[in-house]
Homo-oligomer: A and B are copies of this chain.
């Protein structure tokens, strides 16, 4: 990696931290320059524009997850296995890139034009990866369903973790992912609970 790339990576990290803490609109160019140790002119040389910086911070980890997910979806593995791997990857990314993920969830609405379109396309492709794995499970006879509401439920369970997962937390991201998949696969009813729920829903 060249010296110039090093500086770019450093700016991305510093900006992600500031945007996550104070918001994209709440972070000024002067603060950014101070935090990165750069004069205004040098800062613009690296980032081109503040929105470009937001785009780079928001899109990079999503692009990597999409890439991972699209390759995984094509592999020869049972759907249960793929779903667990995708879950692990997502929670690992949220854990490792917490500032960047926070900026993605909170601030992508501030992107405009082509950059906005590219980030939303990446998000859609990531949802399609989940859908294709769920559909594979239905085809294989291992999953009971695959529909848009299931995707929202699964992503909600995972993505919400950016609000409570801590880099110094006790649980490893992979343990969290396994817990979520176990829940998603088997639910929480015991046999007694299932019988009760059957009679309860039959009457309502």
User: Which residues of B are found within 8 Å of A144, using beta-carbon distances?
Assistant: 188-190, 193
Total copies of this chain within the assembly:
2
Stretch at the interface among A41-49, A57-65, A178-186: A178-186
Q: Chain A binding site: helix, strand, loop or mixed by DSSP?
A: helix
- Say yes or no: A141-B193 contact (C-beta < 8 A), given A161-B152, A161-B156: yes
List the one stretch of A10-18, A29-37, A68-76, A194-202 in contact with chain B: A194-202
Chain B residues lying within 8 Å of A143, measured Cβ to Cβ, are: 188-190, 193
Q: Nearest residue in B to A137 (C-beta to C-beta)? A: B193
Per-position binary interface string of chain A over residues 89-125, scored 1 when its CB falls under 8 Å from any chain B CB and 0 otherwise: 0000000000000000010000000000000000000
- For A164, what are the chain B residues with a Cβ–Cβ distance below 8 Å? 152
Neighbouring B residues of A161 by C-beta, 8 Å: 152, 156
Partner of A156 from the list B80, B145, B159 (CB cut-off 8 Å) is B159
Cα–Cα distance between A159 and B162 once the two chains are bound (Å)? 13
Q: Which residues of B contact A3 (CB under 8 A)?
A: none
B149–A176 CB distance below 8 A: yes
Chain B residue with Cβ nearest A181: B197
Given the interface pairs A106-B106, A153-B183, the reply to whether A193 lies near B25 with Cβ below 8 Å is no
Q: Interface readout for A131-163 with B: 1 if CB under 8 Å, 0 if not? A: 000100100111111000110110111111100
- Residues on the B chain within 8 Å of A134, using CB: 188
CA distance A128 to B164 in the complex (A): 16
On whether A78 and B200 interact (CB within 8 A), knowing A26-B25, A157-B157, A186-B189, the answer reads yes
**Which A residues fall within an 8 A CB radius of B?**
23, 25-26, 78, 80-81, 106, 134, 137, 140-145, 149-150, 152-153, 155-161, 164, 171, 176, 179-180, 183-190, 192-194, 196-197, 200
